[in-house]
Structure 1
């Protein structure tokens, strides 16, 4: 898999209250479809971090959001395994 880097952006980690944080340039936020107030999810795999906008869904009555998040995490964790099973 070849990855093409169109543009690199650097930021310094800064103190925000009792935490550390990184600001994002507007062009990165636009590319990710993220705006102020949105929630994001961080996926960390083998030292690589992926940032995704958290999508809020209106769930049918009786469906637990935490359960769906756990299922989503499992699917993401075993994504390659599922793809390999398709080839069998």
Structure 2
């Protein structure tokens, strides 16, 4: 099936999927609220651009392998036991 343009309006959707593969050139999302409950996320990304007003993260553990990070911020607040940067 090939679709050139589709407009979809859905009031509610519930999906249970074992496996999904997406190959997408571009995605543009405008979303009021997203709630995710995920056991594991694995991302392989060349470039991410985020423009965020507010983000809240509650994380038990995070592991990052990063070559370069650039942060431009008026203020960064970290609250916790140990901060190693």
Give the structure with higher Rg (CA): 2
TM over 0.5: no
Query: Which structure is richer in relative contact order (CA contacts within 8 A, separation 6 or more)?
Result: 1
TM class, shorter-chain normalised? under 0.3
Query: Which has more strand, going by share of residues?
Result: 1
TM-score calculated relative to the size of structure 1:
0.18
Q: TM-score, normalised by structure 2?
A: 0.18
